[in-house]
Amino acid sequence: MNQERHKGQPGHQGGAGAPDNRLRKELPEERPPSAAPRGEPEEKAPPVLTGRQRLLQSLWPPRVSRAQLIVALLLFGLGFGLAVQVASHSEGDTALRGARQEDLVRILDELDDRTARLEEEQQNLEGQRSELENSSDQAEEARRQTLAKERQLGVLAGTVAAEGPGITVTVEDPQDAVGADQLLDAVQELRAAGAEAIQLNGVRVVAGTYLTERTDGDAGVSVDGNKIAAPYRFKVIGKPQDLEPALNIPGGVVQTLEKEQATVVVERRTKIVVDALRAAKRPDYARSSAR
């Protein structure tokens, strides 16, 4: 390369005709082309062409020569490498490709730190999640138990309907001789025999139920202030095998009622529905002392 240049420049200088200044050698070099037809032939035999003419001449017409083919091969390699490099550089993340090694190491370190931090955070969050899941499971369990308890207590308190095996007791009282005390005896007997839910003529019988004679002179009794009259129908949930004998024992409820000319029919049922309800009442004075 440098060889060429050094060879070339003096040649032109000579052709241009001795420039006095080395720095300005380029200028004389340019002049000769215009004056080439006259100036150059003095020294060189072939007609000297300007650079532009030489360029055009070499471009057209195309000549196939060994030199051209070799140069074409080299330029093919150059073009190929150029295109490959450009293509490989323009695709992919160019931000990292040009980065120096120290920068890359720093970026890698930062990424590692970040990964560690995020993993720590992930562990924290997963711990929190499992804690919350546990506690919500526990809360769910507690809620379920409370609900079950509420149902059990609701059956006792008469706030929910109940169903199960039991008996029905029907007391016909044509003489209007059955009073509140006999009915209360029947209820007590049933309770003692393990009755869990009792309904008397559509009135739920609970712990605080009271039975009184009617004050208006009509036949019948009043249960918790609800006036009822014969026939008295008990619906009782409990173990039928316990309840029925409890009523039928000698000198028991049935015999006492029959002495009053009433007829008593006791039937066992596999399914009794006690659906009379009672509003839950908050006690005015009594407070739970538990817990």
Q: Which is nearer to other proteins, 9 or 122 (CB)?
A: 9
Residues forming the site for other proteins (CB under 8 A): 1, 3-5, 7-9, 11-12, 26, 29-30, 33, 48-52, 54-55, 58-64, 66-85, 87-89, 100-101
Distances (CA, A) of 35 to 13, 18, 31, 42, 50: 14, 15, 7, 12, 10
**257 and 182 Cβ atoms separated by less than 8 Å:** yes
Distances (CA, A) of 10 to 18, 40, 283: 10, 14, 125
Shortest reach from residue 65's CB to other proteins, in Å: 8
Shortest reach from residue 39's CB to other proteins, in Å: 14
Q: What's at 111, amino acid-wise?
A: L
Q: Which is nearer to other proteins, 4 or 284 (CB)?
A: 4
The sign one gets for the Cα dihedral 19, 22, 24, 29 is: positive
Shortest reach from residue 41's CB to other proteins, in Å: 14
Starting from the edge strand earliest in sequence, which strands make up the sheet with 162-172, in order?
Answer: 203-205, 197-200, 232-237, 162-172, 263-274
Distance separating the N- and C-terminal Cα atoms of the chain: 103
Distance in angstroms (rounded) separating the CA atoms of residues 243 and 193:
5
